[in-house]
């Protein structure tokens, strides 16, 4: 396993954690697992045939979860031959209030693609509120991205109405709303050209994202003509989808991301 780090802005939050199957080169700009130096331009491991994966964590934009929480999933993907980039971004209380966190995510994707063209074709994965930031990043790009959303919180008007995240939507949008903006303006509306595929995975017993929100979002995306696939994972909770120790991740999400057949109900 190799590790790297790419900074894409001045805030300590504006970084990308890189994981790869091979040892990084020892040239200037690389780092060891225990190292802390910034590694401009470094990639974790050489390019190989497996499609790279970009992960964006959730945590209701306030960092109830951080990029480190996705390290086990990143390692599991590396174990299957993938290079993985985990995007960190500013929380709403530290410079990341809308639209800054989405700008961060967009800048991170751009930085990755500039460093190595292979990232332009990566599978993009967003968990929970990370799904919102990811969709906001690809909307309008005509990128044709392969996007996987795990228990996504994307429609902010509906999420606010349902009280998802205990008021986190209002905190995230506070300045935007005060300036006369709306929840709808902060809800990404990707076009079919933006997405080569959109796979949405839901956890049957999700305690953080109500089914009502998921169903609403699926309906809206279906109406927009997005290339949508819906996967429901039985006996799973919110964080199970990104925890390789859990069957939901091991038997559904990981095979999905590595391109193998899924046993899930579709």
Smallest gap from residue 7 Cβ to another protein (A)? 16
Smallest gap from residue 262 Cβ to another protein (A)? 30
Give the nearer residue to another protein in terms of CB position, either 66 or 258.
66
Give the nearer residue to another protein in terms of CB position, either 95 or 140.
95
Give the nearer residue to another protein in terms of CB position, either 8 or 172.
172
Q: Which two tokens stand for residue 154?
A: 């994307």
| Separation between Cα atoms, residue 34 and residue 126, nearest integer Å | 27
Smallest gap from residue 19 Cβ to another protein (A)? 18
Smallest gap from residue 166 Cβ to another protein (A)? 9
Cβ 39 vs Cβ 1: under 8 Å: no
Give the nearer residue to another protein in terms of CB position, either 178 or 223.
178
Report long-range pairs for 67-70 (Cβ below 8 Å, ≥24 apart): 67/15, 67/17, 68/17, 69/242, 70/127, 70/242
| Separation between Cα atoms, residue 138 and residue 143, nearest integer Å | 7
Give the nearer residue to another protein in terms of CB position, either 66 or 232.
66
| Separation between Cα atoms, residue 218 and residue 71, nearest integer Å | 28
Smallest gap from residue 208 Cβ to another protein (A)? 12
Smallest gap from residue 174 Cβ to another protein (A)? 6
Give the nearer residue to another protein in terms of CB position, either 43 or 92.
92
198 pairs with which residues across the strands? 147, 228
Cβ 125 vs Cβ 53: under 8 Å: yes
Residues that bind another protein (CB under 8 A): 12-13, 59-60, 62-64, 66, 68-69, 91-94, 167-168, 171-172, 174
Q: Which two tokens stand for residue 198?
A: 């959109």
Cβ 52 vs Cβ 107: under 8 Å: no
| Separation between Cα atoms, residue 256 and residue 96, nearest integer Å | 30
């Amino acid at each position: 396993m190799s590790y790297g780090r790419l900074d894409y802005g001045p805030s300590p939050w504006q970084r990308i954690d890189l994981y790869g199957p091979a040892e990084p080169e020892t040239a200037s700009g690389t780092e060891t697992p225990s190292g802390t130096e910034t590694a401009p331009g470094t990639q974790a491991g050489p390019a190989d045939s497996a499609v790279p994966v970009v992960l964006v964590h959730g945590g209701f934009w306030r960092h109830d979860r951080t990029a480190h929480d996705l390290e086990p999933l990143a390692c599991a993907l590396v174990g299957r031959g993938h290079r993985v980039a985990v995007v960190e971004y500013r929380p709403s209380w530290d410079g990341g209030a809308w639209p800054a966190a989405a700008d961060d995510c967009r800048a991170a994707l751009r930085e990755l693609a500039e460093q190595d063209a292979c990232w332009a074709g990566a599978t993009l994965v967003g968990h929970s509120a990370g799904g919102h930031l990811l969709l906001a990043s690809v909307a309008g790009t005509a990128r044709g991205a392969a996007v996987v959303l795990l228990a996504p919180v994307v429609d902010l008007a509906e999420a606010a109405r349902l009280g998802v995240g205990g008021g986190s939507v209002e905190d995230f949008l506070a300045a935007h709303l005060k300036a006369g903006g709306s929840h709808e303006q902060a809800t990404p509306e990707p076009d079919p050209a933006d997405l080569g595929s959109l796979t949405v995975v839901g956890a049957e017993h999700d305690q953080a994202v109500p089914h009502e929100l998921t169903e609403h979002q699926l309906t809206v995306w279906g109406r927009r003509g997005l290339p949508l696939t819906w996967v429901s994972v039985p006996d799973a909770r919110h964080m199970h989808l990104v925890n390789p120790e859990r069957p939901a991740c091991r038997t559904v999400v990981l095979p999905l991301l590595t391109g193998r057949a899924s046993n899930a109900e579709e």
